[in-house]
Structure 1
């Protein structure tokens, strides 16, 4: 484990209840989803970058975790710029491609909104442990225990699926059946993994039932999931970022409610 990953696991955000992280992400995301303008997304993004250092995440780890977002945002903007709704002066027209001033503005606003929504979500959930999240969902939000524990068990199996896929690939190579027909090989391995997953899932379900995970009545938990001042503070920060972004956009006259009539 590197030093930066250790910092991420021991930073001030790491010890906060995952339910609060879910809530903060929702409070920040909902205002940005309701509008499509560069001002609200840009203000939210600036505030987020001012808060990212307090997450205890090193910059190298930050870039390593968020590079898919930085790749997806410009690609999304490019698609909208080329094929988005035409408005204003047309700058380029070639077959089905039509680039206008309005489509460029829409593409820029969309790129900022993708960054403002996705980056804090990645930063907040880098330190989330699946077991802690399940404890919070069941104890704080009072979700059904059977649903939570089943989802946790399924999530824990994802790593095993990846290991099984690599083992299947090595086994087929050792038998000399993995040199040709990539599509056929992929379909065969996918079917084999499906069969293996069904068998493992049935075994896991039987084991969980035998240990009383499906028993009726109120169950006990090995670890208590608490929700205190740190969690409420994180929720307040998420609401403040979203609220400030909305207020600035309204004052600047760029607020564009995309769910409104017309």
Structure 2
């Protein structure tokens, strides 16, 4: 099996997995936009429940789902706990000790923040599990019409991130072989970081020269090796993201829990 084959994401059969990455990005932004404007339990919980349909259609196994989203499930409760302990107090105060003040208002705000983080972060993680960086770059350049120089430069940088890990491991093994890696961890880490920085600059310079020699910076319209597809599936995904946002906002307005945070104080 070639390195290129290992670098590609595993093929998935979910209807959402094969959708253009730009549509996935647009759907995630459509879902997140109204949730950024308000902090309330109803809108975030409504969006989170409706998002489960997208999670099922994404073609991600349950084990992979929990592994990939584990940082979100850890960060959301910790953030809610911080707000519950140190948030603005209002209503009945249940616990008060030094800087800690747990009140009715702080608990409501903590619960809303918990669901809000989950509703915003989970779609972005799940929808992008099956995204290939090259497909995303093709979509951004051909569909969103972003500058080709910016898109290709970002793609090249993403492709080289894995090499930094390999370079760091090679530097550590080389220093250990020379007998200079057994003491002074801080000094060794700073030296390796500087050496890695120098290697990154040299590789970036060579890559820029090679790309320019191949005409990546030439003026005029650019051709693409692969066409970024766009069809009914992409429109349906964007419509689903807009529908989730509309349902979340409607539910919050009908229950009177809509809490606009960008309004006048």
Match of 2:62 among 33, 36, 59: 59
Q: Give the secondary structure class of the aligned counterpart of 2:262.
A: coil
Q: Does 1:48 align with 2:51?
A: yes
Q: Which residue of 2 aligns with 1:76?
A: 79
Question: Does the 8 Å contact 2:10/2:130 carry over to 1?
Answer: no
TM-score computed with the length of structure 2 as normaliser: 0.94
Structure 2 segments unaligned to the other structure (5+ residues) = none
Question: Does the 8 Å contact 1:140/1:226 carry over to 2?
Answer: no
Q: Give the secondary structure class of the aligned counterpart of 1:98.
A: strand
1:100-249 correspondence to structure 2 within 5 Å:
100-249=103-252
Q: Which residue of 2 aligns with 1:99?
A: 102
Quick one: distance in 2 between partners of 1:107 and 1:203?
50
Quick one: distance in 1 between partners of 2:182 and 2:243?
56
The runs of at least 4 aligned residues of structure 1 exceeding 4 Å deviation read none
Aligned residue pairs, count: 259
Shift of 1:158: 0.5
Shift of 1:210: 0.5
Quick one: distance in 2 between partners of 1:206 and 1:117?
40
TM-score computed with the length of structure 1 as normaliser: 0.95
Shift of 1:250: 0.5
Structure 1 segments unaligned to the other structure (5+ residues) = none
Quick one: distance in 1 between partners of 2:164 and 2:184?
23
Shift of 1:6: 4.0
Question: Does the 8 Å contact 2:16/2:54 carry over to 1?
Answer: no
Shift of 1:163: 1.1
Shift of 1:180: 2.3
RMSD: 1.5
Q: Does 1:85 align with 2:88?
A: yes
Quick one: distance in 1 between partners of 2:124 and 2:173?
36
Quick one: distance in 2 between partners of 1:77 and 1:23?
27
Shift of 1:80: 0.9
Deviation per CA, 1:95-135, whole angstroms, max 9, x where unpaired?
A: 22221111111111101100001111111100111110111
